[in-house]
């Protein structure tokens, strides 16, 4: 989907090359570390915990957009050397959940750079595209990509991306900023709900007495 959207923003010159480069410097090493962490945690059956943690991180970071005192638009301009370090955890999170570059990167640039929201989205989108290409190539070699699910996601996602690119040029900057943050918060809350529910089900199953489990498997 990023591959479809990128030409719209590149053609409109809504990609900040300097910030894009600084983000990649920090995020690519983090991406590698995140994928290693994913493989380790996957063996320990910690998927629900990962989803819960990602949801909390995404919800809290996106909420900063609605706290005026927490926003420092001139930060990135005056402290650009810190961007790679701030992008490193985004890369780590992207490596084990794929949500970081698209949500956390946008929130970071929206609140701590002087760029307009449309340019923030364009810069983060191309940044996320590069991370996605690297991560997808590695996950493909691991055999951890479902082509059936991927096709279904693209079927609905590609038209949505095109509509979103068109709307980003027409929406006022402040409204676009609020919409992006609100969507990220909703996505984070959904992940928190899914992770917490999965953990409660898992814990409930683990606390079931052994005789009851055996009885449940016996058929008359």
Mean pLDDT of the 152-176 span: 77
Q: Give the separation between CA 94 and CA 32, rounded to whole angstroms.
A: 9
Give the pLDDT mean for 56-60.
Answer: 79
List, in order, residues 6 or more apart from 145 with CB less than 8 Å away. Answer: 136, 139
**Alpha carbon of 195 to those of 48, 146, 153, 180: distances in Å?**
5, 21, 21, 23
Burial of 57 (0-12, 13-18, 19+ CB in 10 A): buried
Instruction: Give the CA dihedral 162, 194, 34, 3, nearest 10 degrees.
Output: -10
Over residues 170-183, the pLDDT tens digits come to: 766 667 677 777 88
Whether 2 and 132 have beta carbons less than 8 Å apart is answered as yes
- Between 148 and 62, residue with greater pLDDT: 148
| pLDDT level of residue 214 (50, 70, 90 thresholds) | very low
Give tens-digit pLDDT for 75-130. 767 777 888 888 888 888 777 766 556 667 777 787 778 788 778 888 888 888 88
């Amino acid at each position: 989907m990023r591959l479809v959207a990128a030409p719209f923003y590149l053609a409109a010159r809504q990609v900040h090359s300097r910030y894009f480069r600084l983000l990649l410097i920090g995020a690519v090493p983090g991406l590698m570390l995140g994928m290693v962490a994913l493989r380790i945690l996957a063996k320990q059956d910690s998927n629900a915990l990962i989803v819960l943690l990602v949801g909390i991180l995404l919800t809290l970071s996106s909420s900063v957009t609605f706290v005026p005192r927490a926003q420092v638009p001139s930060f990135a301009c005056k402290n650009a050397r810190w961007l790679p370090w701030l992008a490193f955890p985004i890369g780590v999170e992207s490596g084990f959940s794929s949500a970081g570059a698209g949500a956390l990167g946008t929130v970071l640039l929206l609140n701590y750079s002087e760029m307009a929201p449309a340019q923030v989205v364009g810069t983060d989108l191309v940044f996320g595209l590069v991370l996605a290409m690297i991560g997808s190539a590695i996950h493909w070699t691991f055999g951890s990509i479902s082509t059936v699910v991927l096709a279904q996601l693209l079927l609905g996602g590609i038209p949505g991306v095109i509509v979103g690119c068109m709307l980003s040029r027409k929406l006022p900057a402040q409204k676009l900023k609020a919409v992006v943050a609100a969507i990220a918060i909703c996505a984070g809350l959904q992940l928190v709900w899914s992770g917490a529910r999965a953990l409660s089900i898992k814990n409930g199953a683990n606390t079931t007495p052994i005789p009851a489990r055996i009885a449940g498997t016996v058929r008359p």
